[in-house]
Amino acid sequence: MVSSPPPPVLPPDSLAAALWQASLELARVLNGSCGRQPCGRQPCGQQSHKPQSREPQLRFRDEDFLPGNAHVASRGAVKDIVFGALRRYGEGDALLSFLLRTPPPLEIRALLLCALFRLQTWSDAHTVVNQAVEAAGQWAGGRCKGLVNGVLRTFLRQREALVAALAPDSAATLWHPDWWLARLRTAWPGDWPRIVTAGNHLPPLGLRVNQRRLAAADYLARLQATGLTGELRGEAGIVLEKPVPVANLPGFAEGLVSVQDWGAQRAAELLDPPAGSRVLDACAAPGGKTAHLLERGDIDLTALDVDPQRCRLIGENLQRLGIRARVRCGDASMPHAWGRAPDAFDAILADVPCSASGVVRRHPDIKWLRRPQDIPGFARTQRRILERLWTALTPGGKFLYATCSVFPEENGEQIAKFTNRVPDARLVAEEHWLPGEQHDGFYYALLQKRI
């Protein structure tokens, strides 16, 4: 058997290299795989894959992303393509249903989705098509180059008619699954269009200034001196006019500032533990809310997370900021397992696992990986964490329940059931933060334990 020659090496800074690496990452998401390797090679005509119901899979880290001949300098271009193709997956999937007679190999399908996204957002269609064909040469000796060329050129010739044909398909035109849209319409009949619109846009870059080091207004002046502009928000927040790499933020490495969505900063402000309080931040990784609580005052804080690797992230973030906390690895729903007795804390922050439906613009794979049955599953986990952690709260203490979800089953409905079920639980405050131009979507319920 004669083996195929190795594929030609793509210039690392070329669009072809970015499209090919993006297609491999996208194929991994569509396949529901959590590995770093491309999917197995199969002949043209294999069954195509829909995204499987898994936890979000996108993890863009320099050390494990862009394998092979891709240069780390291309990382931004690849991330832009993958995120864009996933935001518009409903549209791309519908277009391919018109453009393909038989399902192509998974990597080629992913490449077509990436190229369609780029064609919709770039004016130089000729370059996009040529570079996508070059990228297809990386797969199976280039046997699908003709397919990629034909599909993309057909799209360009018939674009107006194809886009018009998508009009009855809400998943294609609104870039969200039908079941997701139905839940939003039911939960937020007057607000669902702007929630969807926010989910389809690029996210803002929010900063949290370390109040132990300087005031937010003083840091904003430093930003302006470097040519960056933004707006003050909340106690310590700044929303930049345009996102920039963290390396461009003055004083980031020295701990003057952290990246944190403005809406997420509301958690520490609401809980507001007094000096000397014993505080638990459950489900704490990567440590943004932990750090904010410590930046606001002198408290005895325990940061808890179930994932050992993410616990290390908490420690790294605290070290950069020059603050300390007790970091424990454990399950928030099993306080006895990590050594805490009843009434151990004066204040508890429970940023519980959820659908993450309020942050889909940051993690666009979420809306395609989730399934309707996942929401009741999250609600059961949230109920278990609430009930178990409540026993660790001292009488008179405060408990902040938080999610980054916009679905009522995980938010207000969960808290209403809890307060009806638990006699010593009193709802003090409740806030719904729907996704907007300057912040993501969050829900907060501040409870107090009756004495």
Whether residue 333 contacts residue 384, with contact meaning beta carbons closer than 8 Å, is answered with yes
- Asked if the model's pLDDT at residue 34 lies above 50, the reply is no
- Is 320 within a domain? yes
Residue 96 DSSP symbol? H
pLDDT of residue 340: 62
Q: Verify that 217 and 319 share a domain, yes or no.
A: no
Domain endpoint, select from 174, 192, 215: 174
Q: Residue 191, class by beta-carbon neighbours within 10 Å (0-12 exposed, 13-18 middle, 19+ buried)?
A: middle
Whether residue 172 contacts residue 94, with contact meaning beta carbons closer than 8 Å, is answered with yes
- Asked if the model's pLDDT at residue 163 lies above 60, the reply is yes
Q: Verify that 241 and 321 share a domain, yes or no.
A: no
Highest mean pLDDT among 13-17, 48-52, 219-223: 219-223
What share of the chain has pLDDT > 70, as a percent? 88
Name residue 279's beta-bridge partners.
Answer: 301, 347
Q: Verify that 340 and 401 share a domain, yes or no.
A: yes
Q: Verify that 230 and 361 share a domain, yes or no.
A: no
Q: Which residues participate in catalysis according to the annotation? A: 404
Q: Verify that 97 and 221 share a domain, yes or no.
A: no
- Is 198 within a domain? no
Q: Residue 448, class by beta-carbon neighbours within 10 Å (0-12 exposed, 13-18 middle, 19+ buried)?
A: middle
Determine phi and psi for 159, rounding to 5 degrees.
-55, -50
Overall domain count for the chain = 3
Domain endpoint, select from 118, 151, 174: 174
Grade residue 7 by pLDDT with cuts at 50, 70 and 90: confident
CA distance 189 to 171: 18
Per-residue pLDDT, averaged over 297-306, amounts to 95
- Asked if the model's pLDDT at residue 401 lies above 80, the reply is yes
**CA 12 to the chain's CA centroid:** 27
Whether residue 291 contacts residue 265, with contact meaning beta carbons closer than 8 Å, is answered with no
**pLDDT tens digits, 227-262:** 999 999 999 999 999 999 999 999 999 999 999 999
Q: Verify that 333 and 382 share a domain, yes or no.
A: yes
User: Tokens standing for 312?
Assistant: 């290390």
Name residue 305's beta-bridge partners.
Answer: 329
- Is 437 within a domain? yes
444 Cβ contact list (under 8 Å, min separation 6): 266, 267, 270, 400, 401, 402, 429, 430, 431, 433
pLDDT of residue 64: 39
Question: CA distances (Å), 450 to each of 48, 90, 274, 311, 431, in order?
Answer: 56, 48, 18, 32, 21
Name residue 209's beta-bridge partners.
Answer: 257
Averaged confidence pLDDT in the chain: 89
Total Cβ atoms within 10 A of residue 34: 11
Q: Verify that 404 and 373 share a domain, yes or no.
A: yes
Per-residue pLDDT, averaged over 261-280, amounts to 97
Whether residue 333 contacts residue 385, with contact meaning beta carbons closer than 8 Å, is answered with yes
Total Cβ atoms within 10 A of residue 17: 25
Q: Verify that 311 and 432 share a domain, yes or no.
A: yes
The C-alpha R_g of the chain, in whole angstroms, comes to 24
Q: Verify that 145 and 26 share a domain, yes or no.
A: yes
Strand extents, DSSP E, 45-125: none
- Is 39 within a domain? yes
Location of structure tokens 């927040």: 237
Q: Residue 212 sits in a domain of what CATH number?
A: 3.30.70.1170
User: Tokens standing for 30?
Assistant: 């569509």
Q: How many CA atoms lie within 13 Å of 449's alpha carbon, on the beta-carbon side?
A: 21
Q: Verify that 121 and 239 share a domain, yes or no.
A: no
Grade residue 50 by pLDDT with cuts at 50, 70 and 90: low
- Is 302 within a domain? yes
Q: Verify that 284 and 375 share a domain, yes or no.
A: yes
303 Cβ contact list (under 8 Å, min separation 6): 281, 284, 287, 290, 311, 314, 325, 326, 327, 328
Q: Verify that 244 and 279 share a domain, yes or no.
A: no
Q: Residue 169 sits in a domain of what CATH number?
A: 1.10.940.10
- Is 194 within a domain? no
SS3 state at 39: coil
Q: Which helix (H) or strand (E) holds 347?
A: strand 345-351
- Asked if the model's pLDDT at residue 383 lies above 70, the reply is yes
- Is 10 within a domain? no
- Asked if the model's pLDDT at residue 393 lies above 80, the reply is yes
pLDDT of residue 46: 36
Q: Residue 375 sits in a domain of what CATH number?
A: 3.40.50.150
Total Cβ atoms within 10 A of residue 400: 24
- Is 199 within a domain? no
What residues make up the domain containing 209? 205-260
Domain endpoint, select from 174, 190, 220: 174
Q: Shortest CA distance to 325 belongs to which of 315, 339, 338?
A: 315
